[in-house]
Amino acid sequence: MTENQPVRQKTVRRNRVVAAACVTAALITAGVVGTQSATADGAAHNAGRNAAHRTAAAAHSVAARPAAVAVAAPGLGSAALVQSEDFFQQGLGPVGATVALSGRQGLSACSGEETMRDLTQGRATAYASVTWTFDTEGLLIESAASASTGNAASTYEKQLDALVRDCQDEPAGHWHYGAAHAFTATGGTGHWYTSFNGDGTVTGGVAVLRSGTRVAVVELTGQPTDAPAYVKGIATAALNRLPS
């Protein structure tokens, strides 16, 4: 019995050593696995954080870049109206312009308060107008409309001409429009009229224009030169801006 005790003690110690080794191995394995898991989790976390950072950076980059300018739907804008460079050959120095797209600008000196929207009964597809001021006395107003059809545009053109011609026959000594002058340009066709003070002095003029489905009336008050042909010059420039 006594002789077997050392053997049993050795066996117990060996078993303890083996158990300790197993535990140690298990701990090491667990540590490795835990480290790998932590490393994997950290990598995944870092990858996610980096991806989020890249996404945020990309979003910031997109936000920092100016958005593309929206392209306006086909319509009638200020580009279809007379421009500043159209005046210089006529002896006018433009100072400023006011543009509107409501169609509520008065048509001409002869039409009273009637506007393009009134004349078209609001049925035009688009409106545009501009009022130009100059470095001398005088003013230019253009009102334009885009009709839904060519027939409608023809009707509007005739109505505009009729408004102007209503002021051709005035009592002696009254302001009035002169005779109609038909003309054709690259942009379309039209009529221009010189305007006269009561004493017969030329004081500007007006033109009715038609290009496709677009119509316009352009009126200049004032006399930039002694030659009344400047009215035709401005009317031609405006007509060439108008095409649909």
Structural contact between residues 78 and 130, judged by C-beta atoms closer than 8 angstroms: yes
Which has the closest alpha carbon to 235: 211, 212, 202, 213?
211
Residues 42 and 38: their CA atoms lie apart, in Å, by: 6
Q: pLDDT tens digit string along 15-34? A: 433 333 433 333 333 333 33
Domain ranges, ordered by start, for the chain: 1-68, 78-241
pLDDT of 2 over the 90 cut = no
Give the pLDDT band of residue 137 (cuts 50, 70, 90).
confident
Residue 210 identity: R
Give the pLDDT band of residue 226 (cuts 50, 70, 90).
low
Residue 2 identity: T
Check whether domain 78-241 has CATH 3.20.20.70, yes or no: no
Q: pLDDT tens digit string along 75-111? A: 799 999 999 999 988 888 999 999 999 999 989 888 7
Q: pLDDT tens digit string along 33-60? A: 333 333 334 444 444 444 444 444 433 3
pLDDT of 209 over the 80 cut = yes
Average pLDDT, the chain: 76
Residue 136 identity: T
